[in-house]
């Protein structure tokens, strides 16, 4: 089992038989072959919580507005999670930036240091997991965050299973998506957003949805495994570039847009 190396400087991983679709009809992505290698991330032992410098912007008092007919990823009002106060609010629309990725990675690194703070049995975390979000832009389908427990993601023959604790990470991140755009981010933080060079799945201006955040979690969790293997000299088949999902409630593997790929 590969032990994750969290002390090295990290870089984003994603810098650049017909069936009914699982979600909405979208343009398909190419198929993928090769059997997966199941990798499970190890997590650091529990430690006592350590103080962290708060990097809260002036807009952290904002809460999600009540669920309406909007296609943006909004949810009923809930208290802002205490851990969300440690991070700056972010633009809620595409493009996905390095600033978004770094924030999600920081949340995950805190989870590895203090896993007890992300327990799905903790009342604030239970509240987060009960929130409903749309899965992808243009879809009217909404489900609770906990609905996606045990979803598996696979790419380059690596597999990441989304646990309840990882979903708490994602749900905390979703609470940060309150800003209109990069200009509002600058006004709120006094800093320019770092765009990076990420593959974009949605059009600029589309809402960043729960699908996007869970998909990027593969880059955070699986990326550590992949970089560790490459450092050991293992050849990673990056030519097999197709992120796909396996859902507990339906057989087969599906692309990010909800189109069936294979069993």
| Residues 110-137 pLDDT 10s | 999 999 999 999 999 999 999 999 988 8
User: Which residues touch 235 (CB under 8 Å, ≥6 apart)?
Assistant: none
CA-to-CA separations, 219 to 14, 86, 101, 140, 224, in angstroms, rounded: 6, 22, 9, 27, 8
pTM > 0.85: no
Least confident of 60-69, 176-185, 233-242: 60-69
- DSSP letter at 87 equals S
The per-residue pLDDT for 198 is 78
The per-residue pLDDT for 133 is 95
Helix H or strand E encompassing 102 = helix 98-113
More confident residue, 111 or 9: 111
The per-residue pLDDT for 256 is 86
Q: What is the mean pLDDT of the chain?
A: 79
The predicted model gives 6-30 an average pLDDT of: 48
The predicted model gives 137-146 an average pLDDT of: 90
Residue 13 pLDDT grade (very low, low, confident, very high; cuts 50, 70, 90): low
Helix H or strand E encompassing 38 = strand 37-38
Alpha helix locations (H) across 114-176?
Answer: 123-130, 164-176
Tell me how far apart the terminal alpha carbons of the chain are, to the nearest angstrom: 26
What residue has token string 């997991």? 129
The per-residue pLDDT for 199 is 73
More confident residue, 11 or 85: 85
The per-residue pLDDT for 57 is 41
Residue 138 pLDDT grade (very low, low, confident, very high; cuts 50, 70, 90): confident
Q: Is the pLDDT of residue 214 over 60?
A: yes
How many angstroms separate the CA atoms of 214 and 135, rounded?
10
The phi and psi torsions of 153 (rounded to 5 degrees) equal: -120, 145
Residue 78 pLDDT grade (very low, low, confident, very high; cuts 50, 70, 90): confident
Question: pLDDT > 90: what percent of the chain?
Answer: 60
Least confident of 2-6, 64-68, 75-79, 166-170: 64-68
Distance from CA of residue 151 to its chain's centroid? 12
The per-residue pLDDT for 91 is 98
The per-residue pLDDT for 178 is 97
The per-residue pLDDT for 77 is 63
| pLDDT tens profile 190-205 | 999 999 887 777 788 9
The per-residue pLDDT for 83 is 97
Supply 234's token pair.
Answer: 């293992």
Closest CA to 223 of 6, 65, 35: 6
More confident residue, 162 or 200: 162
The per-residue pLDDT for 174 is 98
Highest-scoring range by mean pLDDT, 37-51, 73-87, 238-252 = 238-252
Q: Is the pLDDT of residue 35 over 70?
A: no
């Amino acid at each position: 089992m590969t032990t994750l190396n969290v002390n090295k400087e990290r870089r984003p991983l994603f810098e650049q038989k017909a069936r009914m679709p699982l979600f909405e009809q979208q343009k398909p992505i190419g198929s993928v072959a090769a059997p997966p290698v199941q990798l499970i991330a190890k997590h650091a032992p529990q430690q006592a919580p350590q103080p962290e410098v708060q990097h809260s912007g002036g807009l952290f008092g904002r809460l999600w507005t009540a669920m309406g007919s909007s296609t943006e990823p909004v949810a009923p009002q809930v208290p802002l999670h205490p851990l969300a106060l440690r991070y700056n609010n972010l633009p809620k629309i595409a493009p996905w930036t390095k600033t978004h990725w770094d924030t999600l990675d920081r949340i995950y690194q805190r989870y590895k240091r203090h896993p007890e703070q992300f327990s799905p049995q903790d009342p604030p975390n239970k509240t987060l997991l009960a929130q409903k979000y749309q899965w992808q832009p243009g879809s009217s389908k909404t489900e609770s965050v906990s609905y996606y427990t045990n979803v598996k993601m696979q790419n380059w023959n690596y597999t990441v299973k989304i646990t309840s604790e990882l979903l708490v990470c994602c749900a905390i991140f979703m609470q940060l998506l309150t800003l209109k755009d990069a200009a509002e981010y600058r006004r709120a933080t006094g800093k320019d957003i770092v765009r990076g060079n990420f593959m974009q799945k949605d059009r600029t201006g589309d809402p960043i949805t729960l699908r996007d955040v869970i998909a990027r979690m593969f880059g955070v969790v699986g990326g550590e495994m992949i970089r560790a293997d490459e450092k050991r000299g293992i050849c990673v088949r990056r030519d097999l570039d197709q992120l796909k999902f396996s859902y507990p409630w339906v057989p087969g593997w599906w692309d990010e847009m909800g189109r069936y790929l294979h069993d």
